[in-house]
A = this chain, B = another copy of it.
Amino acid sequence: MAAESPAGQSPSRGKRSDAQRNRQTVLAAAAEVFATSGVDAPIRRIASRAGVGMGTVYRHFPTRADLVTAVYHHQIEECAEAGPTLLADADSPLDALRQWIDLFVDFLVTKHGLADALQSDSDRFAALHTYFLDRLLPVCAQLLDAAVESGDIRPGTQPYELMRGIGNLCVGRDDDPRYDPRRLIALLLAGLRQPRTP
């Protein structure tokens, strides 16, 4: 509970009161702008929406990734914490995995361009990539291991590969009725299941 700060990004603690206030203002503005224009929105716009200068935004969040992680921090955290809970409550490890992936996918597809940013090969987002991985990879690994252990799915799948695959499947135009990443992810999970050895 004490150790916050995702990536060297120190929150308000010990800072001057105006700085704390500004940090919050920027965060709120960024959240609004991200929601309407995606996480690629110009920093200028976020700054002016917050009523501050660009310098202020950049001081609090040196890279765009820092800003994005700060905005979505809570939701990432929730997703991470849901892992063990689901594993404890679900009917089977495979079911837990399925439900957790659902959660993750919901998160990705409801944020414009977030999945795109995550997988982007521009290094503007490298820190974001890293943060997601640090936080969620262990959770995914735990679920995967449990499902292998129980014999629900075949062994050999790397958590990193699975998570990237899921992230990748969520990339792209957000509102194309012909494309629903969930269907493909279901297919992927079906492929993961242990072929019953009769």
Given A119-B172, A168-B172, decide whether A178 and B191 contact each other with a Cβ distance below 8 A.
Answer: no
Chain B, residue nearest A123 (CB) = B173
CB 8 Å contact bits of A106-142 with B (1 = contact, 0 = none): 0000000100100111000000000000000000000
Interface size on A, residues (CB 8 A): 33
Of the A-B pairs whose beta carbons lie under 8 Å apart in the complex, a sample of 28, sorted by A's number, is A116-B121, A119-B171, A121-B172, A121-B173, A121-B174, A158-B178, A160-B178, A160-B179, A161-B180, A161-B184, A162-B184, A164-B179, A165-B169, A165-B184, A168-B169, A168-B170, A168-B181, A169-B169, A184-B188, A186-B191, A187-B192, A188-B188, A189-B191, A190-B191, A190-B192, A191-B191, A191-B192, A198-B198
For A180, the chain B residues whose CB sits under 8 A away are 161
Q: Which has the most chain B C-beta neighbours within 10 Å: A116, A121, A158, A186?
A: A121
A184 to B192, CA, bound (A): 10
Given A120-B116, A121-B173, A188-B188, decide whether A178 and B198 contact each other with a Cβ distance below 8 A.
Answer: no
* Min C-beta distance of A54 to chain B, whole Å: 23
For A187, the chain B residues whose CB sits under 8 A away are 157, 188, 191-192
Given A161-B180, A168-B168, A171-B171, 9 more contacts at CB 8 Å? A157-B187, A160-B178, A161-B179, A165-B169, A165-B181, A168-B170, A184-B188, A187-B188, A190-B192
